[in-house]
Structure 1
């Protein structure tokens, strides 16, 4: 190849390179190019939100009948905000309520009455800027019967580490799930526990999985007003209580050893000779199991027609079940205390030792008995909660 021809080929290649560069430039995007919509860049543009009219939801729905006063009463709006909401009773009085911070909902903050018609009014504004009126009415149920419950715990009281919470009704609750959903227990520190229905569904108890930690703060709320209990019966009123768990104190006793120890905060503070129930008679034996202190009495009159005695007054009596078992003083059995079991199921102490124990007692203290031929069961009293293992207890919940 001559020098002239080589030069011509180099010039041709240079021309082709320029053409290729121009072609590539025409096919590529310039990131600074402004699109027809006025945006820059080659990515997809975000569509502007579509304005919509406000959509109102009422609970209860308009024209609803037989509404339980305990049901949620609420207005919510989609695609807009609430400007005003009013719920009026038949006398023209406005029901108290509270809007949410984002003005997307409004809820009542007071109870409704039974057998009354309530009327909604108000306005919402949609994202399209147009107003939508709120209107409608509903009627609450006329109950066949109203039923109240009672709590076994009281405000400001202090209880032992095994104390169950019991809400008791005068007759059986048919809709247990509805009632249980209206109940709550708040504890500090947080304590695992569960409700269980007992005594033919006339009582619902809450107990912790393990004994309460000493010093636990407890708040129980039974918001049962307006709640259906089944069969046309509804809750009469709410009830609540706040209380505290005191120190840990556990009685431990073995019927074969004829002794009773008291363990307080992990340390033994008492060890007394005792006479338990007569072992040879199933009707008199002291039951093994976890009892719970229910009450205490400076003097108590004992009666047992089955064993032909009545009006036997004993000092410093601490009830530990509803089957007749107490821890109490009895001077007449001092000779047997620490040696043999002769009582009718009670734990007999000397009056002096009984007084020492009595002065230390809180309702809810556990009394753990072992060694006897009979076991405590759910038939032995209202505070039989600890006769169930945790799996069995949990199954007694209705929810």
Structure 2
């Protein structure tokens, strides 16, 4: 567009114009065009030169540093688990110190852009912490950091425990159970502090089964070989009604091979499927079908623990302290897979037990030796269905839609 304005024709003027004047005219027009295209660059240079502080970046306005803290100065009843941060606008942080009443400094980290500092260790309960430090504004002048806040003194501290241990190997249906020593009111705050990391990535969800227990389970069975890291960063977290978390708890474990027991009470058989291949087909006597109090429940059970010898009692049915070998618990309603020589003659033919899966002692030992806590036991064919009331590992009795509804973060 600029070059179009310089197209001057002497022919159209009607008289000859001295070459010198033509040159001046062209120079004037070209000069205007050149000025137009270069005026932005000239203005930018001028502005940045006048606004740039000593050592500052080009285009940065001159201003004093503005410091803010989280928590704010004078705050009380601060939860030790809440974020502690210093931020600066129009400047850079040079140093920050946060100290407790004994003068001990809290560990922290200045961000790479020097616009913030964050505490990297938890605070104590019932203590006053004091900020100090400096920032430099874009005006080149220092600004001092000051202020203090006080953390809460809880009415009660709640501890937590996990059902999974470091370095352990579990079956593909293993749920993660976190149990608290007292009632949790603010379940959402607690759930925000919980993490589960899996390799390979596994879809899963937390669900509150009671006021003191929250479980995590995958949507589908774990893939064999999955590694799992669970962390409950509940120290300093407000759990409601003046109660706070006592300490963090973590665990790292792995998932072993795939093993699924498939049983049908109508066929009186039990198959063991390992990594997709059937490795055993045992004759079984399940619970007596005609008695709802003795029938083996259909549904997905989970192996919970095992005993070389287990003493069993059921006064309602007239027996106490009966010792059975190679017992594997599959629910909290009294269902086990175990050996029992007394029912060998009907195993594979009739259901006569009090809810357990009776195997011959030899078959029970073979199964016992290969089982992992967390293996699924899928039973079909009976008149009674396994439900949430049947124990701590009844996680798989819920549909995935119902399970996710029990997360406090979905309310």
Which residue among 139, 145, 152 is the counterpart of 1:128?
A: 139
- What residue is the counterpart of 1:6 in the other structure? none
Which residue among 181, 188, 206 is the counterpart of 1:195?
A: 206
Offset of 1:21 from its aligned partner?
10
Which residue among 105, 108, 113 is the counterpart of 1:94?
A: 105
1:138 aligns with 2:149: yes
- Most deviating of 166-175 and 150-159: 166-175
- What residue is the counterpart of 2:389 in the other structure? 379
Deviations 1:308-355 (A, max 9, x none): 211010000000010100000000011111011111110000000000
The 5 A counterparts of 1:203-352 are 203-352=213-362
Which residue among 134, 151, 168 is the counterpart of 2:162?
A: 151
Instruction: Report if aligned partners of 1:221, 1:241 keep a CA contact under 8 Å in 2.
Output: yes
Residue 408 of structure 2 aligns to a residue whose secondary structure is: coil
Instruction: Report if aligned partners of 1:29, 1:42 keep a CA contact under 8 Å in 2.
Output: no
Deviations 1:148-200 (A, max 9, x none): 000000000000000000000122210101111011001111111100001x2
Residue 41 of structure 1 aligns to a residue whose secondary structure is: helix
Which residue among 76, 90, 94 is the counterpart of 1:83?
A: 94
1:174 aligns with 2:185: yes
Separation of aligned partners in 1, 2:181 and 2:80: 21
- What residue is the counterpart of 2:400 in the other structure? 390
Separation of aligned partners in 2, 1:103 and 1:11: 66
The 5 A counterparts of 1:14-93 are 15=16, 26-27=28-29, 32-33=34-35, 41-43=38-40, 45-46=43-44, 47-48=47-48, 49-93=60-104
Deviations 1:192-229 (A, max 9, x none): 1100001x221111111111000001000011000011
1:184 aligns with 2:181: no
Separation of aligned partners in 2, 1:31 and 1:11: 22
Residue 205 of structure 2 aligns to a residue whose secondary structure is: strand
Instruction: Report if aligned partners of 1:161, 1:213 keep a CA contact under 8 Å in 2.
Output: yes
Separation of aligned partners in 1, 2:258 and 2:250: 25
User: Taking structure 2 as the reference length, what is the TM-score of the superposition?
Assistant: 0.89
Separation of aligned partners in 2, 1:56 and 1:385: 49
Separation of aligned partners in 2, 1:107 and 1:21: 67
Instruction: Report if aligned partners of 1:377, 1:384 keep a CA contact under 8 Å in 2.
Output: yes
Residue 386 of structure 1 aligns to a residue whose secondary structure is: helix
- What residue is the counterpart of 1:358 in the other structure? 368
Separation of aligned partners in 1, 2:24 and 2:110: 65
Offset of 1:27 from its aligned partner?
4.8
Separation of aligned partners in 1, 2:33 and 2:306: 88
C-alpha change, 1:11 and 1:130, in structure 2 (3 Å) is: closer
C-alpha change, 1:132 and 1:308, in structure 2 (3 Å) is: same
- What residue is the counterpart of 1:118 in the other structure? 129
Instruction: Report if aligned partners of 1:378, 1:384 keep a CA contact under 8 Å in 2.
Output: yes
C-alpha change, 1:41 and 1:291, in structure 2 (3 Å) is: same
Unaligned runs of 5+ in 1: 1-9
Separation of aligned partners in 1, 2:117 and 2:364: 60
Separation of aligned partners in 2, 1:364 and 1:205: 14
Unaligned runs of 5+ in 2: 1-10, 49-59
User: Taking structure 1 as the reference length, what is the TM-score of the superposition?
Assistant: 0.92
Deviations 1:62-119 (A, max 9, x none): 0001000000011111111111101110111111112112221111122111011100
- What residue is the counterpart of 2:116 in the other structure? 105
